[in-house]
Amino acid sequence: DRPIDWAAVRGDFPLLQRQVHGKPLIYFDAANTGQKPEVVIAATDDFYRRHNANVSRAVHALGSEATEAYEGARDKLARFLNVRTDELILCSGTTFAINLVAYSWGLPRLKAGDAILVTRMEHHANIVPWQLIAQRTGATIKVAELQPDGSLDLDALHAAMTPDVKLLALAHVSNVLGTINPVTGICREARKRGIVTVIDGSQAAPHMPVDIAAIGCDFYAVTGHKMSGPTGTGALWARREHINAMPPFLGGGEMIKEVRFDGTVFNEGPHKFEAGTPNIAGHVGLGAACDYLAGIGMANIAAREQALLAHATEEMLKIDGLRLYGTAPHKAAVISFAIAGTHSHDLATLLDLEGVAVRSGQHCAHPLLQWLGVGTTCRASLAFYNTHEEIDAFVAALRKVKRLLA
**Residues tagged active-site:** 364
Site string for ligand PMP, 227-266 (x = CB under 6 A): ----------------------------------------
Q: How far is the CB of 332 from ligand PMP (least distance, A)?
A: 11
Binding segment for ligand PMP (CB under 6 A), chosen from 46-54, 93-101, 130-138, 190-198, is 93-101
**Which residue's CB is nearer to ligand PMP, number 202 or number 386?**
202
Binding segment for ligand PMP (CB under 6 A), chosen from 57-65, 122-130, 154-162, 258-266, is 122-130
Nearest to 210 by CA among 192, 183, 174: 183
Binding to ligand PMP by residue 197, rule CB under 6 A? no
| Chain residues 41-60 in contact with ligand PMP, contact rule CB under 6 A | none
Q: How far is the CB of 4 from ligand PMP (least distance, A)?
A: 26
Nearest to 171 by CA among 98, 77, 106: 98
Binding to ligand PMP by residue 202, rule CB under 6 A? yes
Q: How far is the CB of 101 from ligand PMP (least distance, A)?
A: 13
CA dihedral (146, 152, 156, 158) in degrees, to 10, reads 160
Binding segment for ligand PMP (CB under 6 A), chosen from 87-95, 127-135, 247-255, 345-353, is 87-95
Binding to ligand PMP by residue 203, rule CB under 6 A? yes
Q: How far is the CB of 190 from ligand PMP (least distance, A)?
A: 19
Contacts of 214 by beta carbon, 8 Å cutoff, 6+ apart: 82, 184
Binding to ligand PMP by residue 93, rule CB under 6 A? yes
In SS3 terms, the chain reads as CCCCCHHHHHHCCHHHHCEECCEECEECECCCCCCCCHHHHHHHHHHHHHHCCCCCCCCCHHHHHHHHHHHHHHHHHHHHHCCCHHHEEEECCHHHHHHHHHHHHHHHHCCCCCEEEEECCCCHHHCHHHHHHHHHHCCEEEEECECCCCCECHHHHHHHCCCCEEEEEEECECCCCCEECCHHHHHHHHHHCCCEEEEECCCCCCCCCCCHHHHCCCEEEEEHHHCCCCCCCEEEEECHHHHHHCCCCCCCCCCEEEEECCEEEECCHHHHHCCCCCCHHHHHHHHHHHHHHHHHCHHHHHHHHHHHHHHHHHHHCCCCCEEEECCCCCECCEEEEEECCCCHHHHHHHHHHCCEECEEECCCCHHHHHHHCCCCEEEEECCCCCCHHHHHHHHHHHHHHHHHHC
Distance between CA atoms of residues 144 and 153, nearest Å:
8
Binding to ligand PMP by residue 94, rule CB under 6 A? yes
Q: How far is the CB of 180 from ligand PMP (least distance, A)?
A: 12
Using CB under 6 A, which of 51, 74, 120, 123 touches ligand PMP? Answer: 123
**Which residues, listed in sequence order, are joined to residue 212 by a DSSP beta bridge?**
none
Binding segment for ligand PMP (CB under 6 A), chosen from 82-90, 198-206, 292-300, 302-310, is 198-206
Residue at 368: amino acid letter: L
Q: How far is the CB of 156 from ligand PMP (least distance, A)?
A: 21
| Chain residues 328-367 in contact with ligand PMP, contact rule CB under 6 A | 364
Binding to ligand PMP by residue 283, rule CB under 6 A? no
Using CB under 6 A, which of 29, 200, 274, 354 touches ligand PMP? Answer: 200
Binding segment for ligand PMP (CB under 6 A), chosen from 52-60, 90-98, 282-290, 328-336, is 90-98
Binding to ligand PMP by residue 218, rule CB under 6 A? no
**Which residue's CB is nearer to ligand PMP, number 91 or number 157?**
91
Binding segment for ligand PMP (CB under 6 A), chosen from 78-86, 180-188, 195-203, 255-263, is 195-203
Q: How far is the CB of 118 from ligand PMP (least distance, A)?
A: 12
Using CB under 6 A, which of 35, 67, 95, 342 touches ligand PMP? Answer: 95
Q: How far is the CB of 81 from ligand PMP (least distance, A)?
A: 16
| Chain residues 156-175 in contact with ligand PMP, contact rule CB under 6 A | 171, 175
Number of residues in contact with ligand PMP, rule: CB under 6 A?
A: 14
Distance between CA atoms of residues 163 and 176, nearest Å:
30
Distance between CA atoms of residues 340 and 329, nearest Å:
24
Residues near ligand PMP (CB under 6 A) are 93-95, 123, 125-126, 171, 175, 200, 202-203, 223, 225, 364
